[in-house]
Chains A and B, each alone.
Chain A
Amino acid sequence: MSAGGEPQTTVERTVRPMPDRYRNALGKYKVNRSADCASCGDCVKLCPEGVHVKPDGYTFSLRPRDHLCLGPECAKTDHYCVAKCTKKALSMARNPTVDAMGDARWTSDLILSTWHMAETGHAPKAGLEHRTGESGGGFDRLGFNFPDRPAKVDPDKVDTGLDLNRRGDGRPQVHIDLPVYGGGMSFGSVSIHTIVGKARAAAAWNIFTCTGEGGYHDRLKPYDDHVITQVATGLFGVREDTLQRVRIVEFKYAQGAKPGLGGHLLGDKNTPAVARMREAVAGNALFSPFPFHSVYSVEDHKKHLDWIKEVNPRTLVSVKVSTPTDVDMVAVGSYYAGAHIIHLDGSYGGTGAAPDIAKKNIAMPLEYAIAKVHKFLVAEGIRDSVTLIVSGGVRTAWDVMKSIALGADGVVIGTAEMVALGCVRCACCESGRGCPRGIASTDPELMMLMSLDWATQRLINLMSAWREQMVEILVKLGIPSTRELRGRSDVLYYTKEAV
């Protein structure tokens, strides 16, 4: 039973293969079989990756499942089908479509490797760069200095858990099994399958998801214990009963992708169902103004947090802020106002819709803010009394670990989850009927492109793959837990730009 009196549903934390929901899975390489193929089936036996398939009773092989192909790396092995084909009927080349997807931050390799992880629950073996992008800065210039002889750490005993209440204020402890949880996405900006899929995956991994500012959907109630509900400036769907049913309430002051600009749900996405939950009129654009009109000081801010604490005596309070120049002072102010969790949202994070000028230019990228805030909290002597959660540009398990080494306790992810659900970052979430791939859309036809079970399993698999990589990094560093990695910037190096 949750505090809201709802029976809670458990979800099994099991990795199961969950292939792409489209007919043609995209791969970095294309494997072509010419008409010279004699259908001998040797390639089927040869390829351990399962690229070639010829079901029993079939005369011809199926179209190669080339998204599983390792690419030119495979030529070094003894199972390179192109070389072994007796009829020379097979060829392999880079898929030109891949060049048309992705960008500097989310390269096509990162998208495809995230898809691979969501499909298999493991990091790709070769051929795909799954750790960093090509943005030329921040996480993409940070690396780990792995020691030659690390202290021995048993991978099975590595601890990736995190306690979120460090204030010692008598409120319940909230423990999560991964230093990662899902970011706020409102009903309206994304489909119900996306929302519930995220919540089910959060329940499976004993982490959290967040409602965003769109109200608390009834279908989230079976997962109350893993839901953070958001109080943002528009106060859409915020009611006492929603605040009372959760273990964490999040105040959203600003969003990294559009800091200082408030929220904006375009009229097209404000369908009758969305409007009902937001207690608004369907079809109208809905604005969350910036900032909270009742907050002009730390004292006002404290008044807000006290309100929530009064309404729900057992909840923790998280404060989500963006990354201005004085982000360190903002963090300290939030601590003294009574926040359990300070959530920094860096400027390169995702959004359903934001002005391009804001995404690129306003507020500092997350990497800088983590280091700045961590150092300041340490200097103030309050670092161990508050949990620092960061988001806005955390794309991979490696980014998670770099964030923690820079000083964060944990991270919140958003885009990575969307990519696991099939997002290609075409940036069309906001236009017309919404996401053409049915993830960030409330269009009745488009949202049916994705089933709830599929979404749940993809996210469970992704988290599993990320945890494997976190453990791998910790073992190589000789550090037994993510908690002990926090603030260990000595294990990082920074690649300076060539002058």
Chain B
Amino acid sequence: MPDKYHIKAAATPGRFRRVGKFGSVDWREDCSRCTNCVKPRCIYDTYKKETAYNRDPSTSVVPLYECRGCLSCVQGCTKGLLGIALNPEYLSLGDAYWKPEILATTWNQADSGRIPVSGAGYRGRFHGSGFDSIWTDMSEIVRPTRDGIHGREYISTSVDIGHKPMRLSFTADGNLVGEPSALIDLPIPLILDVPPWTIGANGLGKARLAAAKALKTLSVVPAAEVAGAPADQLPYLVPMIGSEGLGTAEMILRQVRMAEFIDGSKVLEVIGQAKSVHPGLICALRLPMQATSADRILAASKAGVKVFHLWADLHGQEIGAEKPRHIKDVLREIHTRLVKEGMRDEVTLIVSGGIALAEHMAKAIICGADLVAVETSLLVALGCRVCRGVTGKTHEDHCAAEAGDLDPVYAAQRMVNLMSAWHSQLIEVLGAMGIREVRRLRGEVGRAIFKEDIEREAFGDLACK
């Protein structure tokens, strides 16, 4: 049996200031200093930690706002002097898509690499738009494998990037026509991508590349920034090359396995040049998600490009459209078109933009992607609040993630932790569905529940208001 894919998560507390959901409101002047004080009885020691912090504010991690909101102290205080309030700073984190809950859970996952587990039931909205209008299926009796406690220890999360020809052709004397197909086998259906906005972080690229190596996946790096990458990390590096030509990237192309080429009128020529430099290179076309994406992918695929990296905006929406569609809808369109053309299995579809949670990865794959590229979440793992440079949204007048002087080892481990948690969650989803490899999840819309469909089926006969 091959080695099991294992991500080495290690507890790595964040070095940024946490923003908690609750703050306690304490009406101290009325306190009678009674012997029945509820503060020492807090089972999470919130008040003790706050007191310790107040005595020594130089402690590395601020323990404020660690309250879990159980309200035991509020209801137990002899004189009723305590209250709990929602922290307005918490509520102002992120934006309508990158909600405070997403940031908080990402921070927690990057801390430990563990799956977020909690008690009580689901607490959110019934459904939402985009990925929040999809539920994944489960199977009552099918278990994907017979190994391990849960029967899901050997679920495969491997995907291939590259050209997968439907059949091989041979000459009359038995020789293969054309070059053998090169494939990159990734053990996890995600790659690490460049941040969607410019941030002045020196160590970020290094950290991403180190994380990619640890995860045995790939990291996309702009061609201008590839110089100086350690030789042992080059197999995990994907230079992103503009349409102006190979330029200085030519040297590095010989040493990497894959490159991304930004779509443009001359991109096929540039890809041709790259292939002549490194014939085994996997060349991906990087293109924005637009109304014409499906046409473009079909045309490029017929012209020989077999790997596509489709990027949407930060919120998973089409770029530049008046009424942008969400990537779930665009992916379903592209996937279906490729299936109809009989080309789906030949090409690899990578999608990025708006992949904020592990469930988004699973759902993007269900809608038709082979794998996803993660960018913003990697920043969030480092403390980013998705303010995108709008400093007014941060507490201090500088980046909350302190991306300017990043320690690459620390940053890489937090990225690895986050991806470890995502990987485990993907396995949970696959295990529940009774699917034993993520390749089979691609385009499996029959194993998902789409809100529009189920609502029509269940409530279609009800009177409406």
Contact = CB atoms under 8 A, between A and B. Distances in A.
Interface of A: 20, 22-26, 63, 95-97, 99-101, 103-106, 135-138, 140-143, 145, 253-254, 257, 259-262, 287, 289-293, 295-297, 300-301, 321-322, 324-325, 330, 347-365, 367-372, 392-393, 415, 423-433, 435-437, 440, 446, 489-490, 492-496
Q: Size class of B's contact patch?
A: 35 or more
A404 B86 CA distance: 37
B249 to A, nearest CB: 39
A125 B30 CA distance: 33
A368 B136 CA distance: 14
A129 to B, nearest CB: 16
Contacts of A23: 75-78, 80
Given A25-B75, A324-B140, A424-B69, A103 B123 contact: yes
Most buried by A among B76, B86, B138: B138
30 contacts: A23-B75, A23-B76, A24-B76, A24-B80, A97-B71, A99-B85, A101-B71, A101-B84, A103-B123, A104-B123, A104-B124, A136-B127, A253-B140, A257-B122, A261-B150, A291-B140, A292-B141, A321-B140, A324-B139, A325-B446, A354-B117, A356-B105, A356-B118, A361-B429, A371-B459, A424-B71, A426-B69, A426-B120, A427-B118, A429-B118
A143 B139 contact: no
A25 B75 CA distance: 6
Interface stretch (B3-11, B344-352, B449-457): B449-457
- Nearest 9 A/B pairs, CB to CB: A137-B126, A429-B119, A260-B432, A22-B75, A103-B123, A260-B138, A371-B458, A436-B70, A135-B126
A207 B140 CA distance: 28
Given A261-B431, A324-B137, A353-B119, 18 more contacts: A142-B462, A254-B140, A257-B121, A260-B431, A261-B150, A291-B139, A291-B140, A348-B121, A351-B120, A356-B115, A358-B428, A361-B134, A363-B449, A367-B459, A415-B121, A430-B117, A489-B461, A493-B463
B76 A358 contact: no
Given A322-B138, A361-B359, A349 B117 contact: no
A135 B122 CA distance: 11
A143 B116 CA distance: 35
A63 B80 CA distance: 9
A420 B31 CA distance: 30
Contact of B70 (A259, A352, A428, A489): A428
B121 A350 contact: yes
A110 B136 CA distance: 29
Contacts of A356: 105, 115-118
Interface in B427-465: 428-429, 431-434, 446-449, 454-455, 457-459, 461-465
Interface of B: 21-22, 25, 43-44, 68-72, 74-78, 80, 83-86, 105, 115-127, 134-143, 149-151, 357-359, 362-363, 425, 428-429, 431-434, 446-449, 454-455, 457-459, 461-465
Contacts of B463: 145, 490, 492-494
Contact of B122 (A24, A293, A347, A428): A347
A440 B70 CA distance: 13
Contacts of A138: 126
A392 B135 CA distance: 15
Given A97-B83, A325-B449, A360 B118 contact: no
Given A24-B77, A356-B105, A101 B142 contact: no
Contacts of A367: 458-459
B126 A136 contact: yes
Given A100-B22, A489-B461, A26 B71 contact: yes
Contacts of A321: 140
Contacts of A429: 118-120
A136 B434 CA distance: 30
A359 B122 contact: yes
A424 B74 CA distance: 12
Contact of B123 (A100, A259, A365, A427): A427
A415 B120 contact: yes
B137 A24 contact: no
A135 B128 CA distance: 10
Contacts of A440: 119
Contact of A287 (B43, B149, B434): B149
A292 B72 CA distance: 40
B75 A291 contact: no
Nearest to A354: B117
B121 A351 contact: yes
B141 A137 contact: no
Most buried by A among B75, B84, B127, B141: B141
A433 B69 CA distance: 16
A95 B75 CA distance: 13
B44 A436 contact: yes
A425 B120 contact: yes
Nearest to B22: A100
B124 to A, nearest CB: 6
B139 to A, nearest CB: 6
Nearest to B126: A137
Given A325-B449, A436-B44, A446-B43, A372 B125 contact: no
Contacts of A293: 143, 151
A25 B431 CA distance: 44
Most buried by A among B117, B121, B433, B457: B121
B151 A289 contact: yes
B142 A296 contact: yes
A440 B120 CA distance: 10
Nearest to B128: A136
Given A105-B122, A287-B150, A290-B150, A261 B432 contact: yes
